[in-house]
Structure 1
Amino acid sequence: MSELRTSTEMVPSARVEGDALVLSVRGEIDLHNSPELRTEVLDLLNKQSPKRLILNLGQVPYMDSSAIAVLVESLQKVRKSGGRVLLTDLQPRVKSLLEIARLGSIFVICKDEAEALTK
């Protein structure tokens, strides 16, 4: 496991575990700050090229459609190299948004990081 430097408070921690890039995301994600999240996630993906991107969303109480767009763009980037995106620790509001948008089928939803690391 190796810790990575992050340049934003929205992603307070990032680490590599095997073939996985594990990011913790914090705070509400909306139109105003989603570009910051997008930049951070895509920068880390470009540097690491992981087979699995694990996003711990346990500290994200709310996200809007702009956050969904960041998740989908990240998924497209990871899939280009045959990888997957796993979402963990979803709060009820965020989980219901993903279900409403019918995105539960394109992202792997896991209870926690430990489960995601085994998939």
Structure 2
Amino acid sequence: MLKKFFFNHTEAPPTFIDSIEDKEQVHIIRLKGPIDMFTIPSIQELKEEAEKEKGMIGKNILLNFGKVTHIDGATCALLLNILSELKQEKHKLVITNASEELKNMMEISKIGELFLVYETETQGLEELKKEEV
């Protein structure tokens, strides 16, 4: 459902989304390009619109940063915001393929331990499967 929303919402898919895969218990969102203070307002706007649509978010989210080219402090703020909202709904946020830059920024900001961060998408999905049991 989330894939349908993002890819049918506008004439062209958002520039920051490479692909979305909807699985039973998780939305896999593969990001690309810069995720920074210049793109985050668009991300926030689309996220808020998706939240208004009943059932659009409604499950765990795995964010794959494999094709992300640039991040900044606003990226960490966005991740904290998403994590907070998901926790209120009893869902989880998994981050995969995070660059060293993102890992370091999360560590310096003292927020690294709040997130489930894995090297690969497969590892992140395995963690979410463990959490279901």
- TM-score, normalised on structure 1? 0.86
Say if 1:44 and 1:57 are closer, same or farther in 2 by CA, change over 3 A. farther
- 1:39-79 superposed Cα distances (whole Å, 9 cap, x missing partner): 334444551311x2100011123211212111111111111
- Partners in 2 of 1:49 and 1:57 — Cα distance? 21
Q: Decide which of 58, 81, 91 is 1:73's aligned counterpart.
A: 81
The residue correspondences of 1:106-117 to structure 2 (distance < 5 A) are: 106-117=114-125
Higher helix content, 1 or 2: 2
Give 5+ residue unaligned stretches, structure 1: none
| DSSP-derived class of the 1:18 partner | coil
- Partners in 2 of 1:85 and 1:45 — Cα distance? 16
Q: 1:38: how far off?
A: 2.1
Say if 1:3 and 1:36 are closer, same or farther in 2 by CA, change over 3 A. closer
Which is further off, 38-47 or 5-14?
Answer: 38-47
| DSSP-derived class of the 2:22 partner | strand
Q: 1:115: how far off?
A: 0.7
Say if 1:11 and 1:79 are closer, same or farther in 2 by CA, change over 3 A. same
The residue correspondences of 1:18-29 to structure 2 (distance < 5 A) are: 18-29=24-35
The residue correspondences of 1:16-95 to structure 2 (distance < 5 A) are: 16-44=22-50, 47-50=56-59, 52-95=60-103
Q: 1:105: how far off?
A: 0.7
Say if 1:34 and 1:23 are closer, same or farther in 2 by CA, change over 3 A. same
- TM-score, normalised on structure 2? 0.78
C-alpha contact (below 8 Å) 2:2/2:27 kept by paired residues: no
Give percent identity, aligned residues only. 18
